[in-house]
Amino acid sequence: MAAAHHVCGGLILSETHTDAVMYTYRVKHVMHMTRTKFQDAWVVELEGYGKALFLDKKIQSALLDEYMFHEPMVQPGMFTHPNPKRVLVAGGGEGATLREALRHNTVQEAVMVDIDEELVRMCDEWLPEWHQGAFKDPRSTIIFDDARKIIPQYQNHFDVIVSDLTDPLEAGPSQYLFTREFYQMIYDALTDDGVLTVQSGAGDPLYPYLYGCIARTLQEVFPIVRPYWCFVASFMLPWGFILASKKHDPLEIPREEIARRIEQRQVKGLRYYDPGTHYGMFGIPPYLRDVISKARVLTDEQPFLWEA
């Protein structure tokens, strides 16, 4: 959680990572604040980072470095698949995750499912730098509903699914969207060579346990599971992602093939992802591999509970 404090020189937002660590952000001004049916949503302008979105007082992304999250969130999975035509984004209310998928000229259908319509409408108005018109792209379909309700309606349909859901905080909208049962729904919705990428929480040594549990849970469902990570400046943390696949292994694609796919699909303007960072991100350190090996499987009966 985070708290707002007035200090000499302006407003400070402080976000608690664990009981031991708090991060602070200096706010230039508050642009928009609302309470949706599901969560608090703030758009603020931060010193240094520029415009930023906070949900339930936790930073989601900032204008300065949103590409450091959204490109790693989407592009490893999209380029691992040889020909992604149908894509689903679960969550991703800012629209930047959808934007990244739509960069690929192979994409014919992009479905975004987000339970919080008020949030998406707010982001459409206040965060145009993020979505860049993705909501109105003719290939896009936006569904405002629970992903657990919508995804089972698709069987063997999507080439790539991107799970960009908020962390599973107790009483939050995402608690049961990180379980074995949910990932089985995703598996069934993917084509025979489908690929999934999941935002998986912090990868720092203080509290990497959500990351470990998601990886361990995906290993129960998918034959290929490849954890990866990158540093996101505005989070002040290394951030974890996981790629799960039915057939294609991201570590077996030659760099030359990734470069060819980037050129062939006319994906231009990438600021983080390229053939080099593709492989670099999958080089997670021994402590994270150890966390994953000791983690438990998340289920509907025993979902993840944040206890930092």
Active-site residue set: 164
Residue whose tokens read 């520029």 = 50
Return phi, psi of residue 274, to 5°.
-155, 180
Return phi, psi of residue 33, to 5°.
-135, 140
| CA dist., res. 25 & res. 15, Å (int) | 8
Neighbours of 167 (CB within 10 A): 18
Residues 249/243, Cβ–Cβ less than 8 Å: no
Return phi, psi of residue 200, to 5°.
-130, 20
- Non-local (6+) Cβ contacts of 138 within 8 A are none
Record the tokens describing residue 304, joined without a space: 């993840």
Q: In the β-sheet with 224-232, what is the strand arrangement from edge to edge?
A: 140-143, 109-113, 86-91, 158-164, 190-202, 237-245, 224-232
| CA dist., res. 165 & res. 223, Å (int) | 23
